[in-house]
Chain A
Amino acid sequence: MTSSKQALAHPATSADAAPGSQPGAARGAQGRGTPPPGPDSWRSRLYRWDMKASPYAFIAPFFIFFGAFGLVPLLYTAWYSLHNVQLSGLDHQTWAGLDNYKNLLSSEFFWNALENTFTIGVISTVPQLVMALGIAHLLNYRLRGSTVWRVVMLTPYATSVAAATLVFTLLYSWDGGMINWLLHFVGVDPINWRESDWGGQFAVSSIVIWRWTGYNALIYLAAMQAIPADLYESAALDGAGRWQQFRHVTVPMLRPTILFTVVVSTIGATQVFGEPLLFGGVSGSKGGSAHQYQTLGLYMYDQGWTIGNLGKASAIAWTMFLILLIIAVINLLVTRRLRKSQ
């Protein structure tokens, strides 16, 4: 369709530009002229169509799947969030307007979950990225068996959340757990990690840190190896020590990478779910008896699947979505700032 329009458009413009002039008329005649013999035109049309349409066909699967498993559920969740829907009565929906959202904003459990998500996010992401940077710096030295070290770094990431959390749960168990046993040598009384107010958050964060530090370290390492060696050489000539090289060469050169890991980790932290759920053991979706490590993800799961209040759970899902959008906007602003300052 488009191609034939263009073919028509050409002569018209040229005719306008030079009315009656020979070349224009000739071109016009040619463009409008009798179609070339059958099979050839069919083939060329097919070719042109192929050129235009194929890319869409190639990217279509993603959009079809996104539509089916992303967009439709998203919109359906929005619809649910405006209704009273119970898990046991999906067909009996009654209009609730914004009640679910109002209910949410006045619920202490929601604010608690929001706060927990934030604090767990901070105490897991910050140490994780700082440690990853340090480890990457060490791995960047000439080491014997460097591949082995790198593979070892990545093993926690390859372990399943369930297995890791189970082991950590045993380590942190207040009666006979290894961590309390070690603490007792330095004269600290056993801590009930799971039920104390900060203990649970600390424990959950430590699982997240354990799993993701190596992963981030490898990303940093890859970026570090792309830094030209002559930068270090000239820095060394200027008398910069290892630490100064790290501060004044490595970190500035890694800035885009660091920003990337910060964005990815922030999104990950907003969605923390498996670790606290499994750490809580039976009825883990409560996030501890006082909800001390119940994240937004857990609160949504608890409302939707344990309690069966799908309307409210959907409202939580949409609120989480909005929070992620806000985080994305903040990230964008920060990125722009950084680019300008560079």
Chain B
Amino acid sequence: MRTSTRRSRRLGAIAAVAALATGLLAGCSSDPDSGSSDANNGGDAKGKTTLSVGTFGVFGYKQAGLYDEYMKQHPDISIKENVTTRTDVYWPKTLTRLQAGSGTDDIQAIEVGNITEAVQTQADKFVDLGKEVDKSQWLDWKLAQATNKDGKTIALGTDIGPMAICYRKDLFKKAGLETDRTKLAAQWKGDWAKYVDLGKQYMKKAPSGTKFVDSASSVYNAALGGESQRYYDKDGNVIWDKSTGVKKSWNAAMTVATSDMSAKLKQFDPTWDQGFAKGSFATVACPAWMMGYIQEKSGDAGKGKWDVAAAPTAANWGGSFIGVPTAGKHQKEAIALAKWLTAPEQQAKVFAKQASFPSTPAAYDTLKPATATTSYFSDAPITQIFADSAKTIPVQNFGTKDQPIGTAITDVGILQVEQKGKSPSQGWNAAKAEIKDVLGQ
């Protein structure tokens, strides 16, 4: 008896440790067979070369089966993806590794908010991919963002974020508003202020517990995405407080923040996700990549209730690039993979699965959204809507501190007005102090 209890206790302890260990390992690798591919990382054991792709968030390559497809075509290559969920963790880590010249992945993803910093400060740490591809495949402005003054293209464009408005048809109907997507788009065409005005109308007869929009910040980001003048001028000088684009977008956001038409949620917070599930707001500025998110968070309850209309202005919000660090061990193979992943055909496949919109216009004619997505969004012609937007997005200048400046305006300035009841001028001053701190002035 005694020994048996002792043994069972010990077994229990071993089981607990094993469970913990597997839990930890599972946290590190989401790929079930990465264990075996790890073993031949150098690429000698089975003659296989393992390429690692460092990404953040959901890139859709795995989801669209692109890695499997490539490995099938190239039996000597094995691919593993290292995903860091949060951009604010991913980018500092990548920066330090690039400069240390070790620990980088063979392919490294770069978010649009960081691309200028990468181009201006890390260009010598990346392979010039411009020499490897037909540059005319990409939208001009997308290619320009990843190219430095000497004409070196450090990364290839993956997706872009052309904008539309996703709206709840059922809520619009209850509020007595237009529900047809073309007529609706015509009502707010040309100016985000018109969209905000429609919000005032919505609030007059709003179904109980609902607001017109999720947050003032989302209106700000959407509007700014259509302005040619952002935080920096062409020469890299900070002009954020003189920028007409910032001013217009700020004003639109302020109307939202001070007129009770916002659900006052913070984007990408758990409570925002709940807002989608509960249907507590009727519209959300909707870059292409947002559609997958809506589908996931609104769930089956939202199916067929969402619809998509063209945004007031052609605008871009987000999008990414992938580059090949010179520190990588298998540059030749990595370049080939990066080229393949960003080619129009593959971008179209990612769109079909994840609705991330291609940055290569050649793909636009062949785009087919997943049938699930189309039926979810009331059979809206999303391909058409996003492609129209993508082709007319203005060229925008980015700067090295684009992301922290943007965060200061949305998460300090606008949030203080929206959630703390500060006046717009107080919010502006708070953002100003914050940006001064960001720029180290």
**How many whole Å from A100's CB to the nearest CB in chain B?**
9
Residues of B within 8 Å of A176, CB to CB, are 271, 274, 278
B121 is an interface residue with CB less than 8 A from chain A? yes
Give the CA-CA distance A173 to B433 in the complex, in Å: 28
Instruction: Return B360 CB to nearest CB of chain A, in Å.
Output: 28
Are A88 and B412 in touch, CB under 8 angstroms? no
A274 at the interface (CB under 8 A from B): no
> In the complex the two chains form, is B270's CB within 8 Å of A170's CB?
yes
Q: Is the CB of B121 within 8 A of A89?
A: yes
Query: In the complex, which residues of chain A have a beta carbon less than 8 angstroms from the beta carbon of B419?
Result: 192, 194-195, 289
The answer to whether B411 touches A307 (Cβ under 8 A) is no
Chain B residue contacts of A174, Cβ below 8 A: 264
- A140 interface hit (Cβ, 8 Å): no
Say if the beta carbon of A83 comes within 8 Å of chain B. Answer: no
- Interface members, chain A 170-186 (any B CB < 8 Å): 170, 173-176
B107-134 interface bits toward A, Cβ cutoff 8 Å, 1 = contact, 0 = none: 0000000000100011000000000000
Interface magnitude class on chain B: 35 or more
CB <8 Å contact, B440 and A175 = no
A286 touches B412 (CB 8 A): yes
Q: Find the residue from A90, A166, A173, A308 having the highest chain B CB count within 10 A.
A: A308
The answer to whether A290 touches B95 (Cβ under 8 A) is: no
Nearest residue in B to A100 (C-beta to C-beta)?
B440
In the bound complex, CA of A191 to CA of B407 (Å): 24
- Asked if B88 and A306 make an inter-chain contact with CB atoms under 8 angstroms apart, the answer reads yes
In the assembled complex, which residues on chain B have CB atoms less than 8 Å from the CB atom of A89? 99, 121
Q: Which of A65-108 contact B (CB under 8 A)?
A: 86-91, 103, 107-108
Scoring B residues 262 to 280 as 1 if CB is less than 8 Å from chain A, else 0, what string do you get? 0111111111001100101
The minimal Cβ–Cβ distance linking A90 to chain B, given in whole angstroms, is 5
> Of the candidates A108, A282, A286, which one forms a contact with B269 in the assembled complex, judged by CB atoms under 8 Å apart?
A282
With A and B bound together, what is the CA distance between A285 and B266 in angstroms? Answer: 15
What is the 8 Å Cβ interface bit string for chain A, positions 186-222, against chain B (1 contact, 0 not)?
0000001011100000000000000000000000000
The residues of A that contact B280 with a CB separation of less than 8 Å are 175
Partner of B268, one of A88, A192, A282: A282
* Min C-beta distance of A66 to chain B, whole Å: 23
Confirm or deny: B53 has a beta carbon within 8 angstroms of a beta carbon on chain A: no
Contacts of A170 in B (CB 8 A): 270-271
Instruction: Report the count of interface residues on A (CB-CB < 8 A).
Output: 35
Please report the C-alpha to C-alpha distance between residue A87 and residue B122 in the assembled complex, in whole angstroms. 11
Are A90 and B99 in contact, CB atoms less than 8 angstroms apart?
A: yes
* Most chain B CB inside 10 Å of its own CB: which residue of A88, A108, A195, A307: A88
Question: Cβ of A281 and Cβ of B404 under 8 Å apart?
Answer: no
Complex: how many Å from CA A246 to CA B158? 68
Contacting pair B404 A307 (CB below 8 A): yes
Q: CB distance A286 to B96 under 8 Å?
A: no
Interchain CB contact (< 8 A) of B271 among A87, A109, A173, A283 = A173
B121's partner among A88, A192, A304, A309 (CB-CB below 8 A) is A88
Query: Which residues from chain B contact A304 at a C-beta distance below 8 Å?
Result: 92
In the complex the two chains form, is A196's CB within 8 Å of B420's CB?
yes
Q: Kindly provide the distance from the CB of B434 to the nearest chain A CB, expressed in whole angstroms.
A: 8
The residues of B that contact A194 with a CB separation of less than 8 Å are 419
- CB A312 to nearest CB in B, in angstroms, measures 7
**Closest Cβ–Cβ distance, residue B45 to chain A (whole Å):** 32
Nearest chain B CB to A210 CB, angstrom units? 19
Chain A residues with Cβ below 8 Å from B95 are: 87-88, 308
Interface status of B379 (Cβ within 8 A of chain A): no
Query: Quick check: is A295 within 8 A (CB to CB) of the other chain?
Result: no
Distance A173 CA – B151 CA, assembled complex (angstroms): 49
> Whose C-beta in chain B lies nearest to the C-beta of A281?
B269
> What residues of chain A lie closer than 8 Å to B430, measured between beta carbons?
289-290
**A286 contact set on B, CB distance < 8 A:** 407, 411-412, 434
| Proximity string of chain A (266-301) to chain B, C-beta cutoff 8 Å, 1 when within and 0 when not | 000000000000000111011001100000000000
CB 8 Å contact bits of B252-290 with A (1 = contact, 0 = none): 000000000001111111110011001010000000000
Q: Is the CB of A306 within 8 A of B99?
A: no
Q: Is the CB of B88 within 8 A of A109?
A: no
If A305-B92, A307-B438 touch, whether A290 touches B416 (CB-CB below 8 Å) is yes
- Compute how far the CA of A307 lies from the CA of B404 in the bound complex, rounded to whole angstroms: 6
The residues of A that contact B278 with a CB separation of less than 8 Å are: 176
Verify if A314 is at the interface (C-beta below 8 Å from B): no
Tell me whether B400 is interfacial, beta carbon within 8 Å: yes
- Considering the chains assembled together, what is the distance between the CA atoms of A138 and B43 in angstroms? 62
Tell me which of B122, B270, B438 contacts A166 (CB under 8 A): B270
16 contacts between A and B (CB under 8 A): A87-B92, A87-B95, A109-B437, A166-B270, A169-B269, A169-B270, A173-B271, A175-B271, A195-B419, A196-B420, A282-B268, A285-B88, A286-B407, A289-B420, A304-B92, A307-B438
Chain A interfacial positions (CB closer than 8 Å to B): 86-91, 103, 107-109, 166, 169-170, 173-176, 192, 194-196, 281-283, 285-286, 289-290, 304-309, 312
Which 8 residue pairs are nearest across A and B when measured between Cβ atoms? A289-B415, A195-B419, A88-B121, A281-B269, A305-B92, A283-B411, A173-B271, A289-B416
